[in-house]
């Protein structure tokens, strides 16, 4: 299947998109007051009710929003299986005409979304994602219980981002070990693209372990603070792909690496939090491997947020159990790398085979 995160491909048409996807259901509705299309894609409930965040974003059209929701929902199915969580994969997209909606309009849109979740009766649980936070989950929880990641005051487990960062950190260590025979960060140069909720704590962990950290963000304040405090190096967003480093950690938007970019990358490893960083997940993974660049599949390395939300809110895990599972992401990646070597396939293919085996009950 082609997956390009709505970046480079012309739409196939809504019917063809849904046919090639192979998921279970797509709920499409329209919020008249804000002019937003709203999508809830449920890819699989094979392992349990579907779960995946709510993404608030501007798209060229409804078809692009549907495609993004479907692709992201499929990635959630793989993420849950790879993390051995008893949930399926789903995703919501609120395709807003502008992301800075007035607060009351945003609130009513979230209530509309909550009514849709309620209508699904627990087949799908949402949570925070790009441009939505615990505060938005608090608003959704005013109308339905099917939202993870609300604040502690509203009965939730709070932001998933710090645990996502811990999982990415462990994934970077495992990737260094597989590449250089040593997981140590000291002396390694790591570039973090996007210093938001996940990127910021990741930068701090890497710096504390002695890595030489390079940061980039389109919001200058985010890198300025890190520069003043930790003395990290800063590169312009347009220079990220051409910057020489041991590890490139995409922690901003998806679709950052396409076929034309791979020959110009100057890193040994791609390992970050961003969902769907490859425009064509199989083709680009093959191209990265052909160029000797190790790729940590997104749905394995960024599973810490899902583990945090589901561990705390449905499995009743203690903090220590959640932390142990998040740190286990490093071991899952080691298994993926060993299988990729043994089977002579890309790390993406190896990770998908691992997830498929778990989906089949293995």
Binding residues for ligand NAI, per CB under 6 A?
129-130, 160-161, 164, 193-199, 216-219, 222, 237, 251-254, 273-275, 302, 305
Q: Which of residues 185-244 bind ligand PHE (CB under 6 A)?
A: none
Q: List 193's β-bridge partners, or say none.
A: 216, 250
Question: Binding pattern to ligand PHE, positions 280-319, x when CB under 6 A?
Answer: ----------------------x--xx--x----------
127 binds ligand PHE (CB under 6 A): yes
Q: Which of 293, 325 has the CB closer to ligand PHE? A: 325
Question: What is the C-alpha separation between 150 and 323, in angstroms, rounded?
Answer: 19
Q: List 159's β-bridge partners, or say none.
A: none
Q: Which of 57, 189 has the CB closer to ligand PHE? A: 57
Question: What is the C-alpha separation between 161 and 144, in angstroms, rounded?
Answer: 23
CB-CB neighbours of 64 under 10 Å: 21
CB-CB neighbours of 273 under 10 Å: 28
Question: Which ranges of 88-236 would DSSP assign to H, the alpha helix?
Answer: 103-120, 134-141, 161-180, 199-208, 220-230
- The catalytic position among 10, 57, 91, 184 is 91
Q: Which of these, 6, 34, 26, 11, lies nearest to 96 by C-alpha position?
A: 34
Q: Which stretch binds ligand PHE (CB under 6 A): 51-59, 217-225, 244-252, 318-326?
A: 51-59
Q: Decide: 79 and 299 in contact? Cβ < 8 Å.
A: yes
Q: Which stretch binds ligand PHE (CB under 6 A): 19-27, 124-132, 176-184, 245-253?
A: 124-132
CB of 304 to ligand PHE, least distance (A): 8
CB of 127 to ligand NAI, least distance (A): 8
36 binds ligand PHE (CB under 6 A): no
**Given candidates 129, 138, 200, 349, which one binds ligand PHE under the rule CB under 6 A?**
129
Residue nearest to ligand NAI (CB): 196
Q: Which of 49, 52 has the CB closer to ligand NAI? A: 52
Q: Which of these, 40, 137, 20, lies nearest to 89 by C-alpha position?
A: 40
Torsion of CA 176, 327, 72, 102, to 10 degrees: -110
53 binds ligand PHE (CB under 6 A): yes
Helical axes 319-327 vs 161-180, angle rounded to 10° = 30
**Given candidates 6, 23, 49, 52, which one binds ligand PHE under the rule CB under 6 A?**
52
Active site residue 91: yes
CB of 168 to ligand NAI, least distance (A): 9
CB-CB neighbours of 108 under 10 Å: 16
Question: What is the C-alpha separation between 171 and 168, in angstroms, rounded?
Answer: 5
CB of 174 to ligand PHE, least distance (A): 19
Q: List 36's β-bridge partners, or say none.
A: 31
Question: What is the C-alpha separation between 332 and 57, in angstroms, rounded?
Answer: 31
Q: Which of 243, 302 has the CB closer to ligand NAI? A: 302
**Given candidates 36, 175, 275, 346, which one binds ligand PHE under the rule CB under 6 A?**
275
Residues that bind ligand PHE (CB under 6 A): 51-53, 127-129, 148, 160, 275, 302, 305-306, 309
Would you name the residues annotated as active-site residues? Answer: 91
């Amino acid at each position: 299947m082609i997956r390009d995160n709505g970046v480079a491909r012309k739409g196939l048409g809504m019917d063809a998109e849904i046919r090639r996807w192979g998921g279970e259901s797509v709920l499409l509705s329209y919020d008249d007051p804000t002019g937003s299309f709203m999508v809830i894609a449920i890819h699989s409930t094979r392992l349990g009710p579907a779960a995946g965040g709510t993404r608030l974003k501007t798209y060229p059209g409804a078809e692009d929003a549907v495609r993004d929701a479907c692709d992201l929902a499929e990635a959630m199915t793989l993420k849950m299986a790879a993390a051995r969580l008893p949930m399926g994969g789903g995703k919501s997209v609120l395709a807003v005409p502008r992301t800075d909606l007035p607060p009351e309009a945003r609130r009513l849109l979230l209530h509309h979304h909550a009514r849709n979740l309620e209508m699904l009766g627990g087949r799908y649980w949402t949570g925070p994602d790009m441009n939505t936070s615990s505060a938005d989950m608090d608003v959704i929880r005013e109308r339905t219980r099917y939202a993870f990641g609300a604040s502690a005051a509203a009965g939730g487990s709070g932001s998933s981002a710090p645990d996502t960062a811990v999982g990415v950190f462990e994934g970077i260590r495992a990737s260094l070990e597989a590449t250089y025979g040593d997981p140590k960060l000291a002396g390694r140069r790591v570039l973090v693209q996007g210093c938001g909720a996940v990127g910021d704590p990741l930068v701090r962990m890497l710096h504390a372990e002695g890595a030489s950290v390079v940061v980039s963000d389109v919001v200058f304040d985010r890198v300025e603070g890190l520069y003043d405090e930790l003395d990290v190096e800063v590169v312009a967003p347009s220079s990220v792909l051409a910057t020489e480093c041991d590890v490139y950690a995409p922690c901003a938007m998806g679709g950052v690496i396409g076929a034309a970019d791979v020959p110009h990358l100057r890193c040994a490893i791609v390992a970050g939090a961003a969902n769907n960083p490859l425009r064509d997940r199989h083709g680009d993974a093959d191209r990265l491997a052909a160029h000797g660049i190790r790729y940590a599949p997104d749905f394995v390395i960024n599973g810490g947020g899902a583990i945090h939300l589901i561990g705390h809110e449905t499995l009743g895990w203690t903090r220590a159990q959640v932390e142990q599972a998040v740190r286990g992401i490093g071991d899952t990646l080691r298994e993926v790398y060993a299988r990729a070597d043994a089977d002579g396939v890309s790390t993406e293919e190896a990770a998908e085979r691992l997830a498929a085996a778990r989906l089949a009950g293995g």
